Amino acid sequence: MNALALPLAGMLLAMLGELWVLSRHQRLTAGNPVQTEPWLEAIANLNSGHLVLWFFRGLEVAGYAWVWQHARTSALAGWPLWAVALLAFVAWDFGFYWLHRLHHRIGLLWAVHAVHHQGEHFNLSLGIRNSWLSSLSSLPFFVPLALLGVPVEVFVAVSSLHYTVQFYNHCGLVERSGWLDRVMVTPAHHRIHHGANPEYIDKNFGGTLLVWDKLFGTFQRPVPGVQIRYGIAGWRPSYNPLWLNLQPLLQWLGWHRAAQLPRTPARPPQRRDRALVVAGAVLLFANVVVAVHRQAPWPDAAQATLWAGLVLQTLALGSWSDGHGRAAWSLAAVGISLPLLQGLAFDQRDALTLLPLLAMAAFSLLALSTSWTRRAA
């Protein structure tokens, strides 16, 4: 069993639970004028923050491991593990502050980071939404840890701890965090960072510790009477993770038409379709959790086929969320093929593997039927 499966399932439940509470109390939009539907945006956030992102995260760790193996110094030789971990914790957060600040200052880096700021609703799902390339653009800021000799295992553990704190920092239910607000970055501070108001732009870059913003003059408290507006200008909202990631990069490369893409159909998803998108995303992520859980015992070909199929389903679901009914055909084709391939070609016939895949296949057929019915109407 892969130890990541349970935290991933917990992350999904926390995200859905928070969205449900926010919707019950009519706090999903917080009175802000927005272009995106909260639940569909949350699903887009989720779909942008797994699979392909994890692949590039693996490349980041591999790059770090290569530097550690070939270029590390003996600076930390003889240090006890707790001291190495403590140094890594503080140094990682210092590096994150500067990578975050420079991702707001340098055009290419902003084209990567802008994906995270496109979200118009502040909730836990926004903490999952990141550019697929963010791990690659972050690696140079953490190379000094490898050069110092911080082991790969410590780097991964410290990174995971910081990312967990940052997930919490996007909680839309929490207004204040007590004494933590005085020493750590909390939702009270980080929601200001996401503000598109002139008073809040390029403030509160810290990830975990508050000291860096205060030390380098970028700390900002809430301004009385100024309601926070989220999102960024100059992009056409999409729920497809492919466009979420490509559009800022294409604009940076000078293709100005990218600001007008994708061409969202005139008939956006109806309420029933939105419920289906949420259900499909939950089923899709359940398959991701099972795949992570079963990763070790599977043959390589079965794993590669499954991961590729889940990525294709993620993109098809995103396109369908944008209102492109024909994407349901792609969703159905992959949804039906995956359980057949896993069960017949790779002999993976246990219930834990097949039942989530069959549920996703049934969902894809329902999505196809819904799109066909709407098109015929």
Letter for the amino acid at 64? Y
User: What is the model's pLDDT at position 113?
Assistant: 96
User: Rounded CA gap, 123 and 116, in Å?
Assistant: 12
- The continuous run of DSSP H or E covering 195 comes out as none
User: Rounded CA gap, 146 and 155, in Å?
Assistant: 8
User: What is the model's pLDDT at position 29?
Assistant: 55
User: What is the model's pLDDT at position 266?
Assistant: 44
Answer whether 112's CB lies under 8 Å from 180's CB.
no
Answer whether 101's CB lies under 8 Å from 110's CB.
no
Question: Which residue ranges in the chain fall short of pLDDT 50?
Answer: 31, 266
* pLDDT tens per residue across span 261-281: 665 554 555 666 788 899 999
* pLDDT tens per residue across span 95-144: 999 999 999 999 999 999 999 999 999 999 999 999 999 999 999 999 99
User: What secondary structure letter does DSSP report for 201?
Assistant: T
Q: Which residues contact 59 (CB under 8 A, 6 or more apart)?
A: 135, 136
Answer whether 63's CB lies under 8 Å from 147's CB.
no
User: Rounded CA gap, 84 and 7, in Å?
Assistant: 25
User: Rounded CA gap, 241 and 265, in Å?
Assistant: 17
